[in-house]
C-alpha cells in the first residue's frame, strides 16, 4: 500500500512525513532502551523525537483542516476525529499499566498515584505524581496532554474563518508562553499549559501554510534543511532557561526537518522506504507500547546475561518493540480508532458550533478564508 501511495508528489510528501514519524519514534525508543542499560546520552539527544512529533502534529492538523475553517460543525468534527485517533489505544494501555501495577508493581519506576491522578490521566489533564512530576499514569502520556490541549485550541480556531482563526492561534500561543514566563504562577498546570514547547505545534502550522500555498524548495535546499534539522539530535548548552532552550535548540531544528520533508523532493520509493512508511503508520503504537517491552525484557536479560546490558540488549529491545508495535497497530489501534470515530460521528450535532461560527463571523466581518 505504501508503494502505491508514492506515485503522486502529494502522496510522496505525506510518505516523507511518515518516514519522519518512524525516525522520531525509533529515536525515543532508542533513548529509553539506553536508559534501561544505565547508559547516558551525552553524545546524542534521542528524545528529540518528541519535538519532531510535535511539529509534525501541528503540520498535519493544519494541512488536513485548512479548508474546514468556519464551516458548520468543523470544530466538533476535528476534535472528535483527533480524540478517536489518540484516546482508545492510550486508554487501553493505561488500563493495562494499572492492572500491571497490581500484578507486578516492581516493574514500575514510580507509583501510579491515587484515584484523582488516575482520572486526570484518562482525561488528559496534567496532574503531579511522585516527586512533583507532571506525568500521567503512563509517563509518556505527558506528550498527549500537550496534544489534547492543542487540539482543543485548534478546534476553537476552526470556529472562525481561516484568516481570523489562524491569526487568533498565532497570537494566543506566544501570549500563553509569555504569561508563563513572566506571571510567576506557582500552579503546576499553568506552568504546563504555558510551556514554550507549545510553539513547536505552531511551527508545524506555519509549515503547513507554506505547503498549502504551493511553496517548494530545491533539492540542494532540501538537503540543507534536513541536515540542519538533524542537528537537534546533538545537544548544546547555551545556559538559558531549560524550557526555552528546548524550544529553540530542538523546536527550531524540528521545524526545519519537517519543512525539508514536506516542501522538498524527497524520494519515498523502494522497499526500505516502504518499510519506513509502514513503521511511520505504526509510530503511535510504537511510542506508547515500547515501555511494556523494554522493562520486562530488561528483567529477563538481567537473569539470562547478568548485569552487563550492552548494545545487543538495545538492538533486541528496539526490534522487539517494533515487531509488537506493527502488530498492535494492525490488530488493535486501527480497529479501535475506527470504531470510536464511528460512534462519535453518530453522536455529533453541529448546530451549536454553527451558531458560534456565525457569531464569530459577525464579530470579524473583514476576515475571510
Task: Name 271's Cβ contacts closer than 8 Å, sequence gap at least 6.
Answer: none
Q: Is the pLDDT of residue 288 over 80?
A: yes
pLDDT at 330: 95
Q: How far apart are CA 302 and CA 313, in angstroms?
A: 10
Per cent of the chain over pLDDT 70 is 83
pLDDT of the residue at 241: 62
Q: What is the pLDDT of residues 4-58, one digit of tens each?
A: 343 445 555 588 999 999 999 999 999 999 888 876 555 578 889 999 999 999 9
Cα–Cα dist 55/249, whole Å: 13
Confidence of residue 295 (pLDDT cuts 50, 70, 90): confident
Neighbours of 336 (CB within 10 A): 17
Mean pLDDT in residue range 292-318: 84
- pLDDT of residue 166 exceeding 60: yes
Q: What's the pLDDT tens digit per position in 72-84? A: 999 999 999 999 9
Report pTM.
0.87
Q: pLDDT confidence of 2, banded at 50, 70, 90?
A: very low
What dihedral do alpha carbons 319, 321, 325, 326 form, nearest 10°? 10
Does 112 score more than 80 pLDDT? no
Q: Which residue would you say has higher pLDDT here, 266 or 228? A: 228
Residue 353 scores a pLDDT above 80: no
pLDDT value for 368: 39
pLDDT level of residue 240 (50, 70, 90 thresholds): low
Q: What residues contact 80, with CB distance under 8 A and at least 6 apart?
A: 341, 344, 345, 348
- Confidence bin at 110 (pLDDT 50/70/90): low
Q: What is the pLDDT of residue 253?
A: 95
Convert the pLDDT of each residue in 125-164 to its tens digit.
Answer: 999 876 667 889 998 999 999 999 999 999 999 999 999 9
pLDDT of residue 1: 35
Q: Is the pLDDT at 233 greater than 80, yes or no?
A: yes
Per-range mean pLDDT, top range of 98-112, 192-206, 239-253, 304-318 = 192-206
pLDDT recorded at residue 347: 63
- Please report the pLDDT score of residue 227 as a whole number: 96
Mean pLDDT of 292-297: 90
Regarding predicted confidence, which is higher, 206 or 109? 206
In three state form, how does the secondary structure of 92-144 look? Answer: HHHHHHHHHHHHCHHHCCCCCCCHHHHHHHHCCCCCCECCCECCCCCHHHHHH
Model confidence at 367, in pLDDT bands (50, 70, 90)?
A: very low
What is the pLDDT, as a whole number, of residue 263? 94
pLDDT tens for 171-220 read 999 999 999 999 988 889 999 999 999 999 999 999 999 999 999 999 99
**Segments making up each domain of the chain, as ranges:** 2-363
Mean pLDDT of the chain: 85
273: its cell numbers? 522506504
Which residues does 212 contact at the CB level (< 8 Å), separation at least 6? 62, 63, 66
Q: What is the pLDDT of residue 194?
A: 96
Instruction: Return the HEC string of the chain.
Output: CHHHHCCCHHHHHHHHHHHHHHHHHHHHHHHHHHHHCCCCCCCCCCCHHHHHHHHHHHHHHHHHHCCCCCCCCHHHHHHHHHHHHHHHHHHHHHHHHHHHHHHCHHHCCCCCCCHHHHHHHHCCCCCCECCCECCCCCHHHHHHHHHHHHHHHHHHHCCCCHHHHHHHHHHHHHHHHHHHHHCCCCCHHHHHHCCCCHHHHHHHHHHHHHHHCCCCCCHHHHHHHHHHHHHHHCCCCCCCCHHHHHHHHHHHHHHHHHHHHHHCCCCCCCHHHHHHHHHHHCHHHHHHHHHHHHHHHHHHHHHHHCCCCCHHHHHHHHHHHHHHHHHHHHHHHHHHHHHHHHHHHHHCCCHHHHHHHHHHHHHCCCCCC
What is the pLDDT, as a whole number, of residue 352? 46
User: Regarding predicted confidence, which is higher, 350 or 150?
Assistant: 150
State residue 128's pLDDT score: 85
Amino acid at each position: 500500500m505504501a508503494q502505491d501511495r508514492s506515485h503522486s508528489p502529494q502522496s510522496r510528501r505525506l510518505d516523507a512525513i511518515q518516514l519522519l514519524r518512524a525516525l522520531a519514534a525509533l529515536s525515543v525508543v532508542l533513548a529509553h532502551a539506553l536508559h534501561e542499560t544505565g547508559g547516558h546520552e551525552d553524545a546524542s539527544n534521542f528524545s528529540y523525537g518528541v519535538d519532531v512529533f510535535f511539529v509534525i502534529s501541528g503540520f498535519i492538523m493544519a494541512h488536513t483542516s485548512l479548508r474546514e475553517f468556519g464551516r458548520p460543525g468543523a470544530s466538533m468534527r476535528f476534535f472528535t476525529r483527533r480524540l478517536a485517533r489518540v484516546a482508545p489505544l492510550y486508554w487501553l494501555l493505561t488500563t493495562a499499566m494499572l492492572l500491571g501495577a497490581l500484578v507486578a508493581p516492581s516493574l514500575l519506576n514510580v507509583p501510579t498515584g491515587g484515584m484523582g491522578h488516575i482520572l486526570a490521566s484518562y482525561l488528559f489533564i496534567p496532574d503531579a505524581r511522585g516527586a512533583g512530576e507532571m506525568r500521567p499514569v503512563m509517563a509518556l502520556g505527558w506528550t498527549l496532554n500537550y496534544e489534547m490541549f492543542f487540539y482543543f485550541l485548534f478546534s476553537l480556531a476552526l470556529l472562525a474563518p481561516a484568516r481570523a482563526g489562524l491569526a487568533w492561534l498565532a497570537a494566543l500561543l506566544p501570549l500563553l508562553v509569555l504569561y508563563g514566563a513572566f506571571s510567576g504562577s506557582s500552579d503546576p498546570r499553568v506552568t504546563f499549559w504555558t510551556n514554550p514547547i507549545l510553539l513547536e505545534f505552531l511551527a508545524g502550522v506555519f509549515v503547513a501554510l507554506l505547503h498549502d500555498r504551493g511553496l517548494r524548495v530545491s533539492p540542494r535546499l532540501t538537503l540543507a534543511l534536513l541536515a540542519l534539522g538533524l542537528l537537534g539530535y546533538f545537544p548544546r548548552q547555551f545556559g538559558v532557561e531549560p524550557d526555552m532552550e528546548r524550544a529553540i535548540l530542538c523546536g527550531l531544528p524540528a521545524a526545519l526537518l519537517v519543512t525539508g520533508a514536506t516542501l522538498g523532493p524527497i524520494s519515498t520509493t523502494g522497499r526500505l522506504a516502504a518499510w519506513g512508511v509502514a513503521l511511520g503508520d505504526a509510530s503511535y503504537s510504537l511510542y506508547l507500547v515500547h515501555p511494556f517491552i523494554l522493562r520486562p525484557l530488561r528483567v529477563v536479560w538481567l537473569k539470562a546475561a547478568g548485569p552487563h546490558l550492552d548494545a545487543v540488549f538495545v538492538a533486541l529491545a528496539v526490534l522487539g518493540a517494533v515487531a509488537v508495535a506493527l502488530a498492535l497497530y494492525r490488530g488493535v489501534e486501527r480497529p479501535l480508532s475506527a470504531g470510536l470515530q464511528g460512534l462519535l460521528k453518530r453522536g455529533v450535532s453541529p448546530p451549536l458550533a454553527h451558531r458560534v461560527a456565525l457569531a464569530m463571523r459577525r464579530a470579524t466581518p473583514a476576515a475571510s478564508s
